[in-house]
Structure 1
Amino acid sequence: MRYGEATVTVVDPRSYMTYQPFLPEAAAGNISPRHVVVPLRRVLPKAEVLTGRVTTIDQDRKVATIAPLVGEAYELPFDYLVVALGAVSRTFPIPGLAEQGIGMKGIEEAIGLRNHVLEQLDKADSTNDEEIRRKALTFVFVGGGFAGAETIGEVEDLARDAAKYYKNVSREDMRFILVDAADKILPEVGPKLGKYGKEHLEGRGVEVYLSTSMDSCVDGHVVLKNGLEVDSNTIVWTAGVKPNPVLSRYGLPLGPRGHVDCETTLQVKGTDYIWAAGDNAQVPDLVGRKAGNENAWCPPNAQHALRQARVLGDNVLSGMRGFPQKDYSHANKGAVAGLGLHKGVAMIVMGKMKIKLKGRLAWYMHRGYHGMAMPTWNRKIRVFADWTLGMFLKREVVSLGAIETPREEFYEAAKPAPVASAPKEKTEAKAKEKTEEKAKAS
């Protein structure tokens, strides 16, 4: 934009952006958690960044209501609006899931999962109770897409390496279970590579149950549709995503699954000043429709979100200046997935040709693609430095579970000591004396 042409205001409940494809590697300790996030104020120096949530939007007055982290809500006027809230975990009303489940949508969850897994090994190594050991060393993952398959692959690697430092825990003592309601895993890379991924995980001792789902997990007692029942302290939920539910409060036209209904220009239908992109947008897939699929929509993945953002930026400027809008069109370039250290699958689309890779070469493709897609050179260099150090140094197996309650130890040290009560015998003797004195006085 020209100098002084407009002010760009970004409202987000977090002051950083998370590169989600790296969450499994952060959970495994291959990448430092700080290197997976990008501080908004640093990378958007010309924008105004507000840490808070947009609770409502008044389209008639063109005003958004902002709820900051602290203080009263206030109104923020706008001329043009971009809705890019992304997605949240798609969950179901399964008994015990809210209390026991661990998601994988944010860096906090990745750090929590890593600390939790290592803590389970600590528990198993320090007890003689077989039931406690069994429950601590059973790990259940629900969802066999990219997030689920990559996370279980990385966490299994972590647990296998960490077990070398425990005298009473071995990989054979652990039980890893992957559950998916579909009849295959990794559908994004096609059936052949998905089958390879399943066989690869099974070869590492992972139990894969397809065409089944979880009925309940109350108190860690997992019950699957196929009749299997296990006790586990670790239940990781990666069974898909859904648009941010707050969209329903904005008065925008929504599709059948809750996405913002957009034109091919990324403009929200029925408006000329609102755009949407990414996982919360329902955008027609022009490439798929040209191929004969009239109901093709752009899938909610980073490949489309990154490219939609560039077109959206151009179209917002075109809308401001009265120029025609540009349609968004992008052909699928393939998909890559890592299944742990030196293991992965990749499908590269080059025109009408599909190149399918597996093993170490696919793993290199996975790291290379996402390493270069990571925003800012600062973070790119730090991520590649983490990988390079990992080639020469052993994996860290330190659990920092106390980081979730950092004030607990200080509170125990600083809280007031309880008032010491007098011995019961002395208290009763004093009461008796007082009674006798009152009797004499009367």
Structure 2
Amino acid sequence: MARPRILVVGAGFAGVACVRRLERRLPPGEADIALVTPYAYQLYLPLLPHVAAGVLTPQSVAISLRRGKHRTKVIPGGAIGVDAKAKICVVRSITGEIVDEPYDYIVLAPGSVTRTFDIPGLKEHGCGMKTLAEAAYIRDHVIAQLDLADASQDESERASRLQFVVVGGGYAGTETAACLQRLTTNAVKRYTSLDPTLIKWHLIDIAPKLMPELGDKLGRSAMECLQRRGIEISLGVSVAEAGPDKVTFTDGRVIPSRTLIWTAGVAASPLVGTLGAETVRGRLAVTAQLTLPGFDGVFALGDAAAVPDLEKGDGAVCPPTAQHAHRQGKKAADNIIASMRGEPLSPYMHKDLGLVVDLGGRDAVSKPLGVELHGISAQAVARGYHVSAMRTNVAKSRVLAAWALNATAGDDFVRIGFLKGRPPPLGELDYVDGDGYLTPQQVREHTASVIARMPEHG
């Protein structure tokens, strides 16, 4: 009898946690495990602002999937469709070829993509902050603006190069603005003709509060910390139009700026739409056991799934955070093993460990287990949490060494060449090689042709 095949889609927190749990709890001969991912690393997304600021190298937050001895087969590509009836996942490999991966159990953890809106000029002139390439590009771009402003004799050009706009008052936007503002504040000291007072950072969000998850007191503390550092925060405001050298806000203000960083939310991966299943605000509507109703052998979790939050009740779903994704990955693995062995599945339950926000340098706010902290103590908790959450000792060591070096030697301000080739329009790096996904009908037609070509159907 053939061994069951477990296919995990996505190498984020959820997918990697699921794979590692399966490897630990399943004997080698009980099942085959495969992981579909375009890159053979897990991106530690919470520290991406540190990469953009140059505190960490890209390699520090790209945790290798091949370090150590693992029996999971890594399939280099991205899933673009799932036929749950035929139990086939359609994968576009990194060479562009279409590969059909059969499965007995599939774990859908493809994560999320940048959520954009129909704002004139946004895709052409906005930069995302969800990939290593985007973080590295933003760092080069920001330093280049200082270089070009220093060399320019045109006051209007200088003004547009020295103003920076970050859209999104969540964790990603707030930490990105904080870390990059610290970078420019330190960098401007190295320029002979730049007035530090001309450098302005704008953080805007359509929401009425900055990081509402922190609560009123801690959220206000974070906001005041950023304002003391000179970051202008505007709430209830978004972007009306983006241009090559200016950004127009919805309140009518026009900011001369050549830097627009967009972190205003995420949407579930378009892969979820290929199944034709019920969704909740774009995320797959799954049970508390992480199964997809009506779809045999399909589990979904992380940013792509609306997992019931049994702690809150009243129809609440778990927020798309790394903490939830990691725990759901372990629970999905346990439930797959239970399903294989004919045992009952258990629901996903969680206890919130708290929140951490790194604002760069000595500034931070955190709320571990409900205790509100500020400054150095909060920074120690935030960085301690990130190091403990990293999967390998090599990754932990790289990050700790980089933080120590930065604390003693200070920032560096070297561009590495990403400015020569601007990334694709905003959001396109989230997709598989820039290509779209299949519709449910296209998936069915494709798998039907694959099945028809099989010898037993000849």
Shift of 1:283: 0.6
Work out whether residues 148 and 238 of structure 1, in 8 Å CA contact, stay in contact via their aligned partners in 2: yes
Work out whether residues 100 and 218 of structure 1, in 8 Å CA contact, stay in contact via their aligned partners in 2: yes
Aligned partner of 1:146 in structure 2 is 171
Matched residues in 2 for 1:403 and 1:122: separation? 12
Higher Cα Rg, which structure: 1
In structure 1, list runs of 5 or more residues that go unmatched: 407-442
Please state if 1:276 is matched with 2:300: yes
Please state if 1:367 is matched with 2:387: no
Please state if 1:187 is matched with 2:212: yes
Per-residue deviation, residues 408-441 of structure 1 (Å, max 9, x unmatched) = xxxxxxxxxxxxxxxxxxxxxxxxxxxxxxxxxx
Matched residues in 1 for 2:184 and 2:100: separation? 49
SS at the partner of 1:299? Answer: coil
SS at the partner of 2:240? Answer: strand
Residue type of the alignment partner of 1:366: A
Matched residues in 2 for 1:212 and 1:71: separation? 41
Change in 2 beyond 3 A, CA 1:71/1:32: closer
Aligned partner of 2:72 in structure 1 is 47
Aligned partner of 1:214 in structure 2 is 239
Aligned partner of 1:355 in structure 2 is 371
Matched residues in 1 for 2:96 and 2:222: separation? 49
SS at the partner of 2:186? Answer: helix
Work out whether residues 35 and 75 of structure 2, in 8 Å CA contact, stay in contact via their aligned partners in 1: yes
Per-residue deviation, residues 94-142 of structure 1 (Å, max 9, x unmatched) = 1111011111111111111111100000000111011111111010010
Residue type of the alignment partner of 1:325: L
Work out whether residues 84 and 280 of structure 1, in 8 Å CA contact, stay in contact via their aligned partners in 2: yes
Matched residues in 1 for 2:326 and 2:28: separation? 25
Aligned partner of 2:449 in structure 1 is none
Shift of 1:45: 2.7
SS at the partner of 1:345? Answer: strand
Matched residues in 2 for 1:201 and 1:277: separation? 34
Shift of 1:405: 4.4
Matched residues in 2 for 1:139 and 1:403: separation? 17
Aligned partner of 2:343 in structure 1 is 323
Q: How many residues align?
A: 397
Residue type of the alignment partner of 1:60: K
Matched residues in 2 for 1:301 and 1:266: separation? 16
Please state if 1:396 is matched with 2:385: no
| Aligned partner (choices 383, 395, 402) of residue 386 of structure 1 | 402
Change in 2 beyond 3 A, CA 1:43/1:261: farther
Aligned partner of 1:204 in structure 2 is 229
Change in 2 beyond 3 A, CA 1:378/1:404: farther
Aligned partner of 1:131 in structure 2 is 156
Residue type of the alignment partner of 1:383: V
SS at the partner of 2:289? Answer: coil
SS at the partner of 1:66? Answer: strand
Per-residue deviation, residues 229-273 of structure 1 (Å, max 9, x unmatched) = 112110000111110122111233322x11111111111122341
User: How much is the aligned-residue C-alpha RMSD, in angstroms?
Assistant: 1.5
Aligned partner of 2:17 in structure 1 is none
Shift of 1:402: 4.7
| Aligned partner (choices 93, 107, 110) of residue 85 of structure 1 | 110
Change in 2 beyond 3 A, CA 1:44/1:60: farther
Aligned partner of 1:341 in structure 2 is 361
Change in 2 beyond 3 A, CA 1:402/1:287: closer
Shift of 1:404: 5.2
Kindly indicate whether structure 1 or structure 2 has the higher relative contact order, using CA contacts under 8 Å at least 6 residues apart: 2
Residue type of the alignment partner of 1:114: R
Change in 2 beyond 3 A, CA 1:44/1:89: farther
| Aligned partner (choices 234, 254, 261) of residue 229 of structure 1 | 254
Per-residue deviation, residues 75-109 of structure 1 (Å, max 9, x unmatched) = 21111100001111111111111011111111111
SS at the partner of 2:348? Answer: coil
SS at the partner of 1:195? Answer: helix
Aligned partner of 1:296 in structure 2 is 316
SS at the partner of 2:371? Answer: strand
Aligned partner of 2:127 in structure 1 is 102
Matched residues in 2 for 1:362 and 1:11: separation? 37
Per-residue deviation, residues 292-331 of structure 1 (Å, max 9, x unmatched) = xx12111110111111111111111111111111111002
Aligned partner of 2:430 in structure 1 is none
Work out whether residues 100 and 220 of structure 1, in 8 Å CA contact, stay in contact via their aligned partners in 2: no
Work out whether residues 43 and 376 of structure 1, in 8 Å CA contact, stay in contact via their aligned partners in 2: no
Q: TM-score, normalised by structure 1?
A: 0.87
Shift of 1:44: 7.0
Change in 2 beyond 3 A, CA 1:87/1:200: same
SS at the partner of 2:63? Answer: strand
Matched residues in 2 for 1:9 and 1:404: separation? 37
SS at the partner of 1:287? Answer: coil
Per-residue deviation, residues 37-79 of structure 1 (Å, max 9, x unmatched) = 1122336731111111222222221111221122531321111
Per-residue deviation, residues 366-393 of structure 1 (Å, max 9, x unmatched) = 1111111112111011111111222221
Shift of 1:167: 0.5
| Aligned partner (choices 292, 316, 326) of residue 306 of structure 1 | 326
Q: TM-score, normalised by structure 2?
A: 0.84
Aligned partner of 1:411 in structure 2 is none
